[in-house]
Chains A and B, each alone.
Chain A
Amino acid sequence: MKQNQTKAWLFLAPTLFFVTFFSIYPILRAFVMSFQSGSLISLSWNGLGNYQYIFSDPEFWLAIKNTLLYALISVPVALAISVMLAWLIFSKVKHKSLFETTFFMPYVTSTIAIGIVFRYIFNGEYGMLNFILRAFHLPAPNWIDDPSMSLTTIILFGIWTSLAFNIVILMGALRNIDPNYYTIADMYGANSREKFWRITMPQLVPTLAFLLTMNIIAAFKIYTSVYALFNGQAGVGNSASTAVFYIYNKFQIVGTPGVAMAATVVLFLIILFVTFLQRKMMKKIGGQ
């Protein structure tokens, strides 16, 4: 049995090695650095200075505001659309897997590449979106170049990218609902709407709670899609700066890693809090 012990640690060794150096160590290091100032090669103790700095930095608050707005708008809207589409695929149509395959495409493709494509779809002059809007005599704003539109543009793109994962997970959950529930409901003469609200929705609650938190966490980490849409910028005049943009900027461009790490710790705590809420919520749902 002694031998078994050594063996187990040997099998785990590569994983534990990489985890220690590239997961545990960087967390601790980030935490320590958030209390230090100076450049990467000459760090010195700075107490809570970095935290004081970010909390009084309007750029930080703009980034947080944008991130929050993005999360609070794009997540529920995307989730609502996803539920509708998943339910329609599941209950109304044949060719379920055709639709599923189609809707899942954005999940596997590079956000950068598709973001570049969207840059042209959103183009104020010759973009497809404005062409359609004009055809319906609707206002056709300058999605990319107007700072006041940047956040809206990101939200629209965010919804487009997050439908894929949501729909596939919801389809999985819908397939797991015992079909006998619907058979019994049919026997009692329930109509389609009643079946959706009385059977499907309650059964989907755990999945929705899961997707809600997963999406919110992902929304807090938004970076790549902004980078792609605005060609490496956070929108015109930094109008669409997000938390990770702020961190990247402070770390790599401005060269104040301490400030970047303080912002990282704040972001980390927010995400931890959301995860914690999810756990609580899941337990409550599970307990019922």
Chain B
Amino acid sequence: MKKFRIGVIVAYLILAIFAIITVYPFIYMILGGLMSFQETTKIPPTLWPSKPQWSNYARVFAQAPFARYFFNTLLTASVTTIVSLFNSLLGAFAMVNLRFKGKGIVQVVLLSLLMVPGEAIIFTNYNTIAQLGLLNTYIGLVLPFLTSIFYMYYLQSYFGSISPTIYKASMIDGASDWEYIWKILVPMSRGGLFTVGLLSFISGWNSFLWPLLVTNEDSMRLLNNGLTAFASDAGSETQLQLAAATLTVLPILILYFIFRKQIIRGVVRNDLKG
């Protein structure tokens, strides 16, 4: 019994150490963003700002158009999420519920494309966008991401778990496919769609390499690109960089704490497909 208890204490100790390692950067980011420059570079490091410097945020907004970055990021992340969800939804419905010639081939092609790393196609996609004259535009930012094979595949497995007789029943009840999708499939898959939407929005929010390629005007930048540019420009002003980083991370962190169950469940379900 005693041995058992020591085991539990050791377990808590190890977990606590790693939990601190995991959480510390976030705490340091948030608190550091409220410190004065002297405090952030003090030896030994300070943990708590003696007086929160809210003015740091005012200076961040004054030095770089973070409001604009926010708007750009929110817009592109929302548009990609909504449109790609819509397209994946229709595609997944067709793949699950309709019978047609060539379905097997479509499935094989999509599954093989799932293995193609985004980094391998991002540069040629840049080329396409450049040729279309869409650099530094919102359309250019979102266009290649308006459908997602990955989310379509996810929805396929989700829809596949709904009994096929539900679709048959709706056919006999006289519903068109369009009515089936909106009156039955979508309400029945609300949880799955919501999770996919969340994951898609988060990855849109955190996107970096693509917007780095297709935008170079400050007014078109997304948060992460604005943040790196700001980090270079702000040079040694550590506290401002940390404040800017907080601005980028905090919205997603809040979203995460509200919907942590759905997000974690979605990720686990996504990736245990083997």
Contact = CB atoms under 8 A, between A and B. Distances in A.
A255 B109 CA distance: 32
A214 B98 CA distance: 32
Would you call the interface of chain A mostly helix, strand, loop, or mixed? helix
Contacts of A261: 123-124
Contact of B232 (A101, A127, A224, A231): A231
B29 interface: yes
B274 interface: yes
Interface range on chain B (Cβ under 8 Å from partner)? 35 or more
A220 B241 CA distance: 29
A44 interface: no
A125 B43 contact: yes
A165 B271 CA distance: 10
B70 interface: no
A19 interface: yes
A251 B125 CA distance: 12
Contacts of A104: 256, 260, 263-264
Contacts of B109: 19, 24
5 contacts: A15-B88, A29-B127, A110-B208, A113-B227, A113-B245
Given A14-B147, A23-B116, A108 B15 contact: no
A264 to B, nearest CB: 5
B87 A116 contact: no
B117 A105 contact: no
Contact of A110 (B19, B28, B205, B238): B205
B79 interface: no
Given A12-B106, A15-B88, A231-B231, 8 more contacts: A4-B98, A40-B130, A84-B14, A101-B257, A101-B260, A116-B231, A173-B272, A268-B116
A271 interface: yes
Contacts of B113: 19, 23-24
B213 interface: yes
A163 B22 contact: yes
Interface in A129-168: 131, 160, 163-165, 168
A99 B245 contact: no
A131 B201 CA distance: 37
B51 interface: no
B177 A7 contact: yes
Interface string A236-268: 000000001001100110000100110011011
A207 B115 CA distance: 18
B25 interface: yes
Nearest to B18: A85
A247 to B, nearest CB: 7
Interface of B: 7-8, 11-12, 14-15, 18-19, 21-26, 28-29, 32, 40-45, 86-88, 90-91, 93-95, 98-101, 103, 106, 109-110, 113, 115-121, 123-128, 130, 143-144, 146-147, 149, 152, 177, 202, 205-206, 208-209, 213, 223-224, 227-228, 231-232, 238, 241-242, 245-246, 248-249, 252-253, 255-257, 260-261, 263-264, 267-268, 271-272, 274
A199 interface: no
Interface residues of A, number: 97
Contacts of B255: 108
Q: Determine which residue in B12, B130, B228 has the highest number of CB atoms from chain A within 10 A of its CB, and name it.
A: B228
A192 B5 CA distance: 13
Contacts of B100: 4-5, 8-9
Contacts of B245: 113-114, 116-117
Interface in A18-40: 18-19, 21-27, 29-30, 33, 40
Contact of B15 (A89, A107, A128, A220): A89
B124 to A, nearest CB: 4
